[in-house]
Amino acid sequence: MSTDQPLVRLRGVGKSFGSARVLTGIDLDVRRGEVVVVIGPSGSGKSTLCRCVNRLETADEGSIEIEGRPLPAEGADLARLRADVGMVFQSFNLFAHKTVRDNVMLGPVRVRGLSRADARKRAEELLERVGVGAHGDKYPAQLSGGQQQRVAIARALAMEPRVLLFDEPTSALDPEMIHEVLDVMTALAAEGMTMIVVTHEMGFARKAADRVVFMAEGRIAESAAPEDFFGSPQTERARDFLARVL
Ligand code: ADP
Ligand code: MG
């Protein structure tokens, strides 16, 4: 495999729900270690784009490759894809009836085939790393939203993903908890994790993004380094959007 091959490669990706076209002609390369922040108005297709990349939705046009391999259609290959392409959702999606530690151990045991002892060790390390090391025995509902989201990040990391997708990971959080989640994400970015991050946190985009992708009406309207995008957006749509969020 050549080293300049993108980790994630989308070409001409399109998606419709019934007669509603949601994504059109999406071309996107994400290199190893790159942090791509996706922004854009509500309904512009950001979530659908993420969901197509880890195959929660099926793109109906174009191609999506991870490390040069097309997304698998189903079966064991799909479970492995979901392990390679981690996702962190706005709503945490932790298993409510399992402890924090078990939430983090489950995937590695079931999908990666780790022993329970190894999975437990990895879970403890990761919970420590995201700052919730003391809460492994608790259930998700006993934690704050910010803590739950950090557990969700630890759970995704436990699978040793090639790339992590974040879909508005701080949108459901009280303001005082947003930073503790963004700090974990910033640290991951600095450590070289490949990340696609949908967010309205423009401070994070400026600081952590290698590239900002601006979506409008299901298309990529702009793709630029953060200083260029925020300094001189090229489209009217992006200028309007920034005027509203900044
Ligand atoms: P964003 O994340 O940018 O807000 P989404 O990807 O969630 O945008 O949605 C893009 C468009 O697709 C919206 O018009 C939304 O209503 C529609 N959409 C998303 N998911 C579905 C679905 N499962 N069925 C029908 N329409 C959907
Ligand atoms: Mg969304």
For the residues 9-21, what does the mean pLDDT come to?
97
Based on its alpha-carbon atoms, the radius of gyration of the chain, rounded to whole angstroms, reads 18
Closest CA to 162 of 246, 87, 226: 87
**Residue 3: band (very low, low, confident or very high) from pLDDT cuts 50, 70, 90:** low
pLDDT value at position 54?
A: 92
**Residue 15: band (very low, low, confident or very high) from pLDDT cuts 50, 70, 90:** very high
- C-alpha 48 – ligand 2 centre gap (Å): 7
- Percentages helix, strand, coil for the chain (3-state, rounded to 5) are 40, 25, 35
Residue closest by Cα to atom 5 of ligand 1: 45
- Asked if ipTM goes beyond 0.95, one says yes
Amino acid (1-letter code) at residue 152: A
H or E element at residue 50: helix 46-53
pLDDT at 24 over 80: yes
For the residues 161-187, what does the mean pLDDT come to?
96
The token pair that represents 166 in the structure block: 């974040």
pLDDT at 226 over 80: yes
For the residues 158-172, what does the mean pLDDT come to?
97
The token pair that represents 212 in the structure block: 């900002």
- C-alpha 118 – ligand 2 centre gap (Å): 35
- Which residues have CB under 8 Å from 7's CB, separation 6+? 30, 31, 32, 34, 66, 67, 162, 163, 194
Q: What ligand has the least distance to the C-alpha of 49?
A: 1
For the residues 63-74, what does the mean pLDDT come to?
90
Amino acid (1-letter code) at residue 182: L
| Average of per-residue pLDDT values in the chain | 95
**Residue 79: band (very low, low, confident or very high) from pLDDT cuts 50, 70, 90:** confident
**Residue 2: band (very low, low, confident or very high) from pLDDT cuts 50, 70, 90:** low
Contact at 8 Å (CB) between 151 and 181? no
pTM for this predicted structure:
0.96
pLDDT at 143 over 90: yes
Instruction: Give the N- to C-terminal CA distance of the chain in Å, as an integer.
Output: 41
pLDDT at 7 over 70: yes
- C-alpha 218 – ligand 1 centre gap (Å): 10
H or E element at residue 14: strand 8-17
Separation between Cα atoms, residue 187 and residue 74, nearest integer Å: 33
pLDDT value at position 48?
A: 98
**Which ligand 1 atom is the nearest neighbour of the CA of 168?**
2
- C-alpha 235 – ligand 1 centre gap (Å): 23
* 19 pocket-lining for ligand 1 (C-beta < 6 Å): no
pLDDT value at position 240?
A: 96
**Residue 116: band (very low, low, confident or very high) from pLDDT cuts 50, 70, 90:** very high
pLDDT at 13 over 80: yes
